[in-house]
A and B are shown apart, each in its own frame.
Chain A
């Protein structure tokens, strides 16, 4: 078959053979070693997506099929009606089209899907805007104005401070105060939380995107913003949460039966000097605020089989015309959400059949 004659090959001396084999071994070892460093095997101290999600599971338990954080929630659907105000700042289609369909999800900020609604004063609202051109904008908003910490490392330390002590099954009560004392950046959040009370309704809350982003217009000009939604209906002052642990979803369903619920989407434009990379710091003083349009919710679905169930509200899924800021929490949220999503996506069936309210 072959007339290919190999060039004469003088045999290798034993020393030369060993040296050459060692050379091959060294090349393979260097490449494999570099790979093991990059994938974290040789760098165990690195904060990885799974480290964060494991910490969430440690604190709240593993509840198959549920999100590892903000586990208890309800799906909603409706549309966004744009105003003209944001168009000069962003070329995103969501601001130029009259209407964009949305799927959303209200939730409690805990990894426990059975947490009582009154257990925390925070509620969250995640929204997916589906543009006609196929691009999407996803955002996860919370009712607090700032995040407790500004970095993923500090967030991980906070999760560890809230971890149950193996001996007692409860977090050591001294840990969280010690964490706050060691992290002065938590002051703005702590000042807010002191006055915050668990609301009786998802519908009466404002929700803040907290992290900064850039709006980018057709000329490529970038404007740093923080966004949030403000409810168009406020209940009478003094309305407090009823007793019981599952009143939020019932209240929402009831209100939506009576008619659509509306939130105005506000874009707060950064002033020069406002921090765009630190979600723990408020933007103080006078700011120009754009009314970008109205978010209208028309219906709800239980999360076990609702349209929001399989959506990962990754804050870095953005349309052309909205860009991430240098806030380090954004990449961390995106990476950790992906890890949580992978875990629960393979477990959807258990969620579907899980009793949602009968388990303590």
Chain B
């Protein structure tokens, strides 16, 4: 068995950081548009839809990359609860990045609205028009977006905990900087 990698694959790191920016931007855009009646509501909505579809496409690429590259292992001395928390939060992050765009797409469909990514690019409806289903999907979209936001916050705090407190190479496995010369 060859030595375990210390870093994520370059493509995995690129996808991580690009998507980190996109997902955080997306969370702020969504929260902002839901709380505004100004022109901001409109231009944020026009950003929100194509960005959501881009995240959906990238997360699928990312899952393929994840399963076709080798991941650096967690430190051997990491307490079991932190190992479990790390695994569960990553499952949640991937799941929500996949589910939230689909929920957004489905809820617009359920409202009977055309799913427009721009003034002329249209996606097919994911589900038939159904108002009670719209209400359910719209509320799920908002609720799970908050779950994603808090998971992202926990992920950020944990990454900094690894980098600044434990100094165990976990943060560096994603930044790509060598921890050994610290």
Contact = CB atoms under 8 A, between A and B. Distances in A.
B36 interface: yes
A311 interface: yes
Given A9-B167, A23-B160, A35-B28, A48 B35 contact: yes
Interface string A8-30: 01001000010011011001100
Given A4-B6, A7-B179, A324-B42, A135 B31 contact: no
Contacts of A312: 111, 113
Contacts of B38: 47, 152, 328, 331-332
B72 interface: yes
A311 B111 CA distance: 7
Interface residues of B, number: 55
B164 interface: yes
A316 B42 contact: yes
A310 B112 contact: yes
Given A318-B119, A346-B136, 12 more contacts: A4-B4, A4-B73, A7-B182, A27-B157, A34-B28, A39-B31, A39-B34, A152-B37, A331-B40, A334-B42, A346-B139, A349-B132
Interface of A: 1-4, 6-7, 9, 12, 17, 20-21, 23-24, 27-28, 31-32, 34-35, 38-40, 46-49, 51-52, 133-136, 152, 309-312, 314, 316-318, 320, 323-324, 326, 328, 330-332, 334-336, 341-342, 344-346, 348-349
Interface of B: 3-4, 6, 24, 27-28, 31-42, 72-73, 75-77, 111-114, 116, 119-120, 122, 129-132, 134-136, 138-139, 149, 153, 156-157, 160-161, 164-169, 179-180, 182
18 contacts: A2-B73, A3-B3, A4-B72, A4-B75, A6-B75, A6-B169, A7-B169, A17-B165, A27-B160, A31-B153, A48-B36, A49-B36, A309-B131, A312-B111, A326-B39, A328-B39, A332-B38, A336-B37
